[in-house]
Amino acid sequence: MITLGAQALWCLAYGIGLFVSDPTWRVLFEALVWVGMIWLGPTFLAFGLDYTGRGHLIQTRSFRSLLTVSGLVTVVTFTYPYSDLLWTDFRLVGSLGISTVLYTIQPLGYATIFFGVVCASVGILLLIETVVSYGPLYRREAVAITLSTLPPAIGFAIWMTGVGPYPDVFLVPPLFLAHVGLDAYAFVGTNIFETNPTTMRSAERTAIDDLPNPIVIVDTDERIVELNTEAEALFDCETNDVLYEPLSDRFDVEIGPDGRPTDEIQTIPTRGERSDRTFSISTTALTEPAGATVGRTIVLQDVTTELERKQQLTVLNRILRHNLRNEMTVIMGAADVIESVSDHTEIESWLGQLRESGRELIEIGERAHEFERVRQRDLQLVSIDIDETLSGLARDVRDRYPDATTAVERTESATVRTDPEILEVVLTNLLENALVHNDDDDPTVAVRGCRSDDSQYIITIEDNGSGIPEDELAVLDEGAEDALDHGSGLGLWIVSWGIDAVGGEVQFETSPAGTTVTVSVPT
Long-range contacts, 108-115 (Cβ 8 Å, 24+) = 108/73, 108/76, 109/85, 112/34, 112/37, 112/38, 112/73, 112/86, 113/37, 113/160, 115/41, 115/69, 115/73
Strand order through the sheet with 514-522: 405-411, 444-451, 456-463, 514-522, 505-511
Asked if the structure places residue 255 within a domain, the reply is: yes
Distance CA 46, CA 40 (A): 10
Q: End of a domain among 263, 283, 302?
A: 302
The pLDDT > 90 percentage for the chain reads: 6
The boundaries of the domain holding residue 510 are 378-523
CA atoms within 13 A on the CB side of 326: 5
Asked if the structure places residue 335 within a domain, the reply is: no
Asked if the structure places residue 352 within a domain, the reply is: no
Q: At residue 72, does pLDDT exceed 90?
A: yes
The larger pLDDT score, comparing residue 424 to residue 277, is at 424
Task: Looking at the structure, tell me whether residues 25 and 125 fall in a common domain.
Answer: yes
Question: Which region, left, alpha or beta, applies to residue 446 given φ > 0 means left and ψ of -120 to 50 means alpha?
Answer: beta
Task: Looking at the structure, tell me whether residues 167 and 250 fall in a common domain.
Answer: no
pLDDT (tens digit per residue) in 153-212: 888 788 777 776 777 777 777 777 777 777 677 666 555 555 556 555 555 655 677 778
Q: What is the pTM of this model?
A: 0.47
Domain count, the chain: 3
The region of weakest confidence among 26-35, 163-172, 234-243, 445-454 is: 163-172
Query: 217 vs 42, 229, 232, 241, CA distance in Å?
Result: 34, 12, 12, 14
Q: At residue 471, does pLDDT exceed 80?
A: no
Q: At residue 494, does pLDDT exceed 50?
A: yes
> What pLDDT score does 481 carry?
46
pLDDT (tens digit per residue) in 98-146: 888 888 889 998 899 899 889 988 988 887 777 666 555 556 766 777 7
- What is the three-state SS of 414-443? CEEEECHHHHHHHHHHHHHHHHHCCCCCCC
Beta strands 276-287 and 265-269 are antiparallel
CA atoms within 13 A on the CB side of 144: 18
143 by Cβ neighbours in 10 Å (0-12 / 13-18 / 19+) ranks as: middle
Task: Looking at the structure, tell me whether residues 256 and 139 fall in a common domain.
Answer: no
Task: Looking at the structure, tell me whether residues 178 and 215 fall in a common domain.
Answer: no
> What pLDDT score does 484 carry?
35
Work out the pLDDT band at 75, boundaries 50, 70, 90: very high
Asked if the structure places residue 507 within a domain, the reply is: yes
Task: Looking at the structure, tell me whether residues 223 and 141 fall in a common domain.
Answer: no
